[in-house]
Chains A and B, each alone.
Chain A
């Protein structure tokens, strides 16, 4: 393993995690892909193993480790080939929990972050709405102050862990007249009156309970406001770097998995009296794909190292997601081709991988939006600065 970034402890963690996934998760994946839900026990097991707390403070049961542990978790989750299971895990740890940790006060962290680290509570992040996806500021959900409470009305869609999570981290407009300057973040218990969710059927990520959520006069105590009122947009933007880098890393890892699988397959499969890995047309294609994946992977590691040092890597993380998700789709398309008809069969991993990968250029900022951001930075010399 790449020793500039990974120490002996990282490697021991990777091996333990691989072993854990193989023993505790892989035997259930096909069932979860069919039922579209993940059994509850696995959250508790992840919590007990300490996998949810790697990036979080010791005071709440975490371990405050460097980001390369996160990278290993993400990579290995991709390599068991269930984009949906992986998404359920990382949306909890790196979408929902990121907000609790960065903006929550001690009380919120006690009530939500600590049980999220131990795996007792599962979270989701609700930003996207039916009428505001890429255009975050266009969201219509409102939170009106009412004494010691806020009353939330509106709806969210495409929310990962949207149906079975225990709490929801929700963006809503506290000052609708201020546009994106009027957003706030709340943490809302699933059981609160007026919260309802429906599961959505989708192309891939089958094991994940992507949901549409309605908020009908939901009364949320003001103590469940995360950070300050009207600062929500800058909080969301603040965490984009980590989120996009995560999606970039997921992409290089699933591409790598596809290539490893295809290489093995091609070393066994014969046609015209030879192993198919002996056909020059395929060999050259493999070389190109391999080179693309290596470039993405090493770029992503370099960005991780900088983010870990506290640098504000908006442009780099945006590039990471834009390029890595594209490469993943190309690699997986081609690896499916290498398997011929078997690639199209559900008994082989490529079919699921192909569907799951397609979300890469859509979720968490579409490729078009990412290009817009890069263009603004590169052409218009716009600078994005961390919120203070």
Chain B
């Protein structure tokens, strides 16, 4: 089985988020980047397929050379090869298009993407990618087994789970559940050193149209100070909720 894992290069969850150029661009100054958590769950599941079922795992990222350390980390975790499509990832549709080219060229059986990347949270790439390459698609995937060309996938639905059967080629939008947090791997020394010897191929991006353009970003308004109301002062509480917070 040939697996392609889509890896998005995203700010660490503890990073301070700021915007520049009048709130039109993300300020990456001083920000640490990591493998998108949803993708890391997928990559770890892919490692399971590699170890238990002999799958070959390639990771792919759409991005400029700054994203290479993230790909190297995926190689250090155990992927066999990496592909970087050399263009900034600015828009879901163009990213899906770029990935589709690589996916078609490599004739992958299974493509594991994250349900969404935690930077812009678009959540559109895996679905678009499946449509572009005419593969089956399971989103919000929390469990996946593959037997020959048959796949059984479980997806999270509101308040429950749904298990579906489908066939390869398949694209999933994966998330926690594919593996648990405790299954995530920290690259060991051997992995880190091997990563240097594994292929990281840079392919040039194809022309794609950009269907949407970000105009501006806004951060949530900072939380105001907390007002403590004594437990026996219900009148004051009602007054504040009614007149100040205007929620009742």
Contacts and interface: CB of A to CB of B under 8 A. Distances in A.
Contacts of A13: 189, 192
A19 interface: yes
Contacts of B188: 16, 48-50
Interface string A37-77: 00000000000111101100000000101000100000000
A102 interface: no
Interface string A1-25: 0000000110111011001100100
Contacts of B68: 8
Name A's interface SS: helix
A50 B194 CA distance: 13
Contact of A50 (B69, B73, B190): B190
A63 B186 contact: no
Interface in A73-96: none
- Which 8 pairs between the two chains have the least Cβ-Cβ distance? A50-B189, A49-B188, A16-B187, A20-B186, A50-B188, A19-B186, A16-B186, A13-B192
Nearest to B196: A9
Contact of B190 (A12, A20, A23, A63): A63
A13 B189 CA distance: 7
B72 A23 contact: no
Contact of A23 (B69, B186, B195): B186
Interface of B: 68-69, 72-73, 76, 186-190, 192-193, 195-196
A12 B186 contact: no
B16 to A, nearest CB: 13
Contacts of B72: 8-9, 12
A229 B188 CA distance: 39
Nearest to A20: B186
B193 A63 contact: yes
Contacts of B189: 13, 49-51, 53-54, 63, 65, 69
Contacts of B187: 12, 16
Contacts of B193: 9, 63, 65
Nearest to A19: B186
Contacts of A54: 189
Interface centre among B69, B187, B190, B192 (most CB of A within 10 A): B192
A24 to B, nearest CB: 8
A48 B193 CA distance: 15
A16 B76 contact: yes
A49 B72 CA distance: 17
A210 B68 CA distance: 44
A12 B34 CA distance: 11
A8 B186 contact: no
Contacts of A65: 189, 193
A262 B196 CA distance: 37
27 contacts: A8-B68, A8-B69, A9-B72, A9-B196, A11-B69, A12-B72, A12-B73, A12-B76, A12-B187, A12-B192, A12-B195, A13-B189, A13-B192, A16-B76, A16-B192, A19-B186, A20-B186, A48-B188, A49-B186, A49-B189, A50-B188, A50-B189, A50-B190, A63-B190, A63-B193, A65-B189, A69-B189
Nearest to A48: B188
A161 B190 CA distance: 27
B191 to A, nearest CB: 8
Contacts of B69: 8, 11-12
Interface string A252-272: 000000000000000000000
A160 to B, nearest CB: 24
Nearest to A63: B189
Interface string A283-321: 000000000000000000000000000000000000000
A152 B76 CA distance: 47
B201 to A, nearest CB: 17
A65 B189 CA distance: 10
A228 to B, nearest CB: 33
Contacts of B190: 50, 63
A9 B73 CA distance: 9
A74 to B, nearest CB: 15
